[in-house]
Structure 1
Amino acid sequence: MSPNKPGAENNPLLSTTTPSDADDYDSSDAYAAEKHVLPRRITVVIPCLLLLVAMEIGGTLVGVPMNQIQEGILCRQRYPNVLDTSTDARCKSSNVQSALSSLQGWELTFSLIPGILTAVPYGIAADRYGRKAILGLSLLGIFLVQAVDIVVCSFPQIFPIRLVWLGAMCSLIGGGPFVPGSVVWTSKLTLTRWPSIFFYLSAVPMGCELISMPLAYVAMQRGPWFSVFVGLACMSTSVLIALICPETRSMAAPESDAEGVEQTLGCGRVALKDLRPRLLTLVEQVTTLFQSMFLQDRRLGILLSSLLFTTLGRYASTILMQYTTKRFGWSWSQAGIMSSVSTLVNLILVVAILPPLSHALRYYLELGPMIKDLWIARASIFALIAGSFGIGLSSTSPMLMGSLMVYGLGSGYGAAMRGLLSQVAGNKHVGALYTTMSVVENMGMLIAGPLLAATFRVGLGWGTAWTGLPFFAAGILLAFAGVIVSGVRLQGLEKNRNEEEEEEEEEEGEEVVVVEEERLGIRLA
């Protein structure tokens, strides 16, 4: 037996390590660990940001001109002698706009059904096998949805326009559009010691929209199809970036988990006889997940339920461009530029106002993290309510701009609620928490598409003054969420959660000390 190995006969029975040696070792290891933290974070941050940028810009470059293309197809179906669909007033008639809102509302609904059915299983898979593969699958599914839309709209004489509803089912691959955001939110970036990280992450899509709307305006001057293909190229780039993204799941996974994965994957073959118990296990995991999220913690369940109303209400902003093109006679590219006003307010708010405000509430007014996020969420939801009613009542462009700015002041709601929910739920099962949030948001949008499309059609039938009826409906739905958020009390929960986190930190510290002592004894023996 080698004398250098632990347990050799020549080794001393007791470690000869002195306290000073241990202190020097601990300090050097701590310094080395801290030295490697920043590069590790950078390697996670940069690919995630590039991925989000490519996906958001590509989505806008495809989405804005696709509205005009689908409007033109529907217009020519009703008025075959239309020459230029972008300027012919008949394309802004109520029957064309009603058909367009119905088409897009149901397309959104069909694209979200796969997300509701598969988001939780994909979330569990991401927690177990890693988020990189799930992220790549999700982006691939989103890319295929857009590709099917392009093919259908390229050949309207061959394919019925409603075939885009079937293409939306491609989001079965990867779980739908909410999965990429969930993966980024649950990455190593969202540490509790970074209290403003949610605001900065939410600023990324806003900044991308602020850039992409003018880009879409310029690209559409060369034709809507030019903008579509440029956007599709950007979206394909996001899929490639996902392949080089580092794994954001904890690298220190227990060995038992790794063995379980190997046993689960085997050699890439799954026996048919094992399929039933696997499905039963999955159903049991999903049931346990929803019980823990909605039943065991009543306050967490109530707050999660509020997301249903906010998603329903905030979806109205997605028909904002159609609303402005109809009510004010703007082109689709001009409507895209107009929406940049609200985006600019959003960006300034989440980058320059909310982080320092969050810091001031936390350290100057000495509010706890939960209470601080709760008050920001309350202020934001009331701004969304006021902005929604203002947009619906706007009869002139200046009134619309002012209402959009007020609406933009509520953009911090999503980030504040994510921070609040993560603290209410605690550090356990954070991936499952955000997956549950995705399911609730998907359910809200599933209902919102047909509901708000129906209110838009009703408003068109009632006359120009009622064109903003979807925004009145949105304001009412947001008011329900405002009542829920205003009625929640978290003071006692925050105290208990702080005590739990302190106990967890002490336990983790003791485990680290034991491991380091064992390593030190082995190294010096």
Structure 2
Amino acid sequence: MSDLELDTETPADAPLLEESERQHEPIPAEDEAPPRILKAARWQVKTPKTAVRMYAFLEFLIVASGMMLMVPVYRLIEDTVCHVYYQDDSLDLIDEMKCKKDEIQAQMAYLLGWLGLFHSILSLLTTFPFGLLADKIGRKPTMMLAYGGMTLSPISGPLLLGVAQHALRKNPYLLMTGSLFLLIGGGIPVVLAMLFAMAADVSSEKDKAASFLQLTFGATAGGLAGPLLTGFLMEKYGPWIPVIASCASFPVILLLFCFIPETLQVDRTKKMSDNDVSIKQQIVTNLADLKDALGLLKNPSIPLVLLTFLFQAARFTAYTSTIVQYVSTHFGWRLAETTFLLSPFGLLNLTVLAVLPKISDILMSPRFGYTSFNKDLFLTRTSTILLFVGAMIEGFSHNIFFFVIGLFVETFGAAASPLARATITHYVEPEFVSRLYALVSTSEIIGSFIAGPVLAWCFDQGMKRKGIWIGLPWFYIALLSLLTWIGLIFVRPPPAKKSSAEQDGEEEPMNPHED
């Protein structure tokens, strides 16, 4: 069995499932339970398969609506900074191409960098406690609470940009207040986590990985459709129409929540005091898990693989916000036009994720003879070096043609993070995987401190120094990718594990490096 299948507890790993596992299902035994019917109201979905499809559709809508806001809000922020620079007190939008001056773009880069960092810090503070709450009161109420806060957060940005323009021109960092709505439910990280938790609740062990795959494709498709639709609307109607369209989808999504049932069986007969004691016990347990997770760092290979996640935030920021501003500033594109550039690469990314299982099968075939661990590590190293090569091409590119070539190369390495997650899973027993993932999440959040602010500084320095320095943001990403690849070179296989099943001469599915 492929080791990539071990990492089904996280959404990022779902695309890496073995093709044979997804296409060929075992014949049910005679005593196997019939298909489960969910406990649901008349108007709610009742079968696990239908429920998973609904979750995937919700993922598509949530991600698409969120992505529709990104570029229009960037345009409105740019216009606000532009008004300050030109000392223009009018409420009309300034022509976008007049806002491409270095001073304006530098200020905007720093603003976006600090906004992203503040958002990450609040995500760190809220994701854990609301995840804990979901285990007590249920997935659905936690998700609806988080979605309420999530809708207020993006709405607050355009609302401030439209209503409180004069106040923002005096202090644009007032936009940070929008992130405070994460305190209501935890925002989109909690919403998406709850959807995957609900998919896990309704899926059998055999079907869980395939369910995660459906949700991952829904999210990826939303990330492709959202920017593409935004580009068409912005080109024709300006930034406010896609903002309104995105906000109009929020009540529709909230209505769809009514059609999904609660999947966690909560004992509501317990007294509040009993719940309070249980929560305290869970907090103590999770703190103990964190301590144990830090103990995993004693194996030098684990922190070396964690470099991938430490630098993940920088790559995400670079290829979502920095790239939009970079292409618009240095190649003279309007922000709406950048969405047309990036959308095909979203489709390519989806294709790469889809073919990875086949590549996995080929590497583990008798012709190549890779073990599960060696195959995962090889793919992680290959993806990381492709990220390095792509970023270097982008850094040296002074025209859009070569920059697109760099993007093309980089997209083939975009699966580095889920591949690294599959690799690192080999080092722990199944019962310790949650602790390991807590360590992974902590690494990703710590990495946010070397993401937005540093990329903003690189962008600013590139505009000041000109010449080859213009590509400094991409050289920074290339450096992080190179350091990650060097670390992966020194990763060594985990020690062999023995189980009772092996002693009885049976195949042990949770021991992939014995494949």
Instruction: List gaps (5 residues or longer) in structure 1.
Output: 1-25, 252-257, 507-525
What secondary structure is seen at the aligned counterpart in 1 of 2:311? helix
Displacement of 1:304 after TM fit? 3.5
1:306 corresponds to which residue? 308
CA 1:368–1:129: 2 relative to 1, 3 Å: farther
**Alpha-carbon distance in 2 for matches of 1:428, 1:246:** 28
**Alpha-carbon distance in 2 for matches of 1:500, 1:130:** 36
2:328 corresponds to which residue? 325
Counting only pairs closer than 5 Å after superposition, residues 36-435 of structure 1 correspond to structure 2 as 40-81=47-88, 85=93, 87=95, 89-127=97-135, 129-155=137-163, 156-159=165-168, 160-185=171-196, 187-188=199-200, 191=205, 201-220=215-234, 221-247=236-262, 263=270, 265=272, 281=281, 284-296=284-296, 298=299, 299-318=301-320, 319-351=322-354, 353-364=355-366, 365-428=368-431, 433-435=436-438
Displacement of 1:290 after TM fit? 1.7
The answer to whether the Cα contact below 8 Å between 2:83 and 2:94 also exists between their aligned partners in 1 is no
**Alpha-carbon distance in 2 for matches of 1:64, 1:333:** 7
* Cα distance per residue 1:127-152 (max 9 Å; x no partner): 55543333333333222210110211
2:15 corresponds to which residue? none
Of the structure 1 ranges 67-76 and 382-391, higher mean CA displacement relative to structure 2 is found in 382-391
Displacement of 1:55 after TM fit? 1.2
CA 1:66–1:88: 2 relative to 1, 3 Å: closer
The answer to whether the Cα contact below 8 Å between 1:342 and 1:407 also exists between their aligned partners in 2 is no
Q: Pick from 461, 467, 485: which aligns with 1:458? A: 461
The answer to whether the Cα contact below 8 Å between 1:126 and 1:134 also exists between their aligned partners in 2 is yes
Displacement of 1:74 after TM fit? 0.8
CA 1:69–1:427: 2 relative to 1, 3 Å: same
Of the structure 1 ranges 420-429 and 203-212, higher mean CA displacement relative to structure 2 is found in 420-429
Displacement of 1:170 after TM fit? 1.4
**Alpha-carbon distance in 1 for matches of 2:351, 2:441:** 26
* TM-score (normalizing by structure 2): 0.79
Displacement of 1:35 after TM fit? 7.6
RMSD, matched Cα: 3.5
1:33 corresponds to which residue? 34
The answer to whether the Cα contact below 8 Å between 1:50 and 1:241 also exists between their aligned partners in 2 is no
The answer to whether the Cα contact below 8 Å between 1:119 and 1:435 also exists between their aligned partners in 2 is no
**Alpha-carbon distance in 2 for matches of 1:184, 1:427:** 22
Displacement of 1:185 after TM fit? 4.8
Displacement of 1:440 after TM fit? 2.7
* TM-score (normalizing by structure 1): 0.77
**Alpha-carbon distance in 2 for matches of 1:361, 1:193:** 24
The answer to whether the Cα contact below 8 Å between 1:391 and 1:404 also exists between their aligned partners in 2 is yes
Displacement of 1:306 after TM fit? 3.4
**Alpha-carbon distance in 2 for matches of 1:88, 1:35:** 56
Larger Rg: 1
CA 1:483–1:465: 2 relative to 1, 3 Å: closer
One-letter code aligned to 1:112: S
Displacement of 1:453 after TM fit? 1.0
The answer to whether the Cα contact below 8 Å between 1:314 and 1:474 also exists between their aligned partners in 2 is no
CA 1:278–1:210: 2 relative to 1, 3 Å: closer
Displacement of 1:267 after TM fit? 9.8
One-letter code aligned to 1:149: G
1:510 corresponds to which residue? none
The answer to whether the Cα contact below 8 Å between 1:422 and 1:430 also exists between their aligned partners in 2 is yes
Displacement of 1:320 after TM fit? 0.3
Displacement of 1:27 after TM fit? 5.2
One-letter code aligned to 2:99: C
Q: How many residues align?
A: 461
CA 1:362–1:180: 2 relative to 1, 3 Å: farther
**Alpha-carbon distance in 2 for matches of 1:71, 1:444:** 26
Displacement of 1:204 after TM fit? 3.3
What secondary structure is seen at the aligned counterpart in 2 of 1:411? coil
What secondary structure is seen at the aligned counterpart in 2 of 1:33? coil
**Alpha-carbon distance in 2 for matches of 1:448, 1:464:** 23
The answer to whether the Cα contact below 8 Å between 1:113 and 1:446 also exists between their aligned partners in 2 is no
**Percent identity of equivalent pairs:** 24
The answer to whether the Cα contact below 8 Å between 2:292 and 2:435 also exists between their aligned partners in 1 is no
The answer to whether the Cα contact below 8 Å between 1:196 and 1:358 also exists between their aligned partners in 2 is no
* Cα distance per residue 1:220-268 (max 9 Å; x no partner): 121211101111223444444445444555x6xxxxxx66x75464599
**Alpha-carbon distance in 1 for matches of 2:491, 2:356:** 22
The answer to whether the Cα contact below 8 Å between 2:78 and 2:108 also exists between their aligned partners in 1 is yes
1:516 corresponds to which residue? none
Displacement of 1:69 after TM fit? 0.9
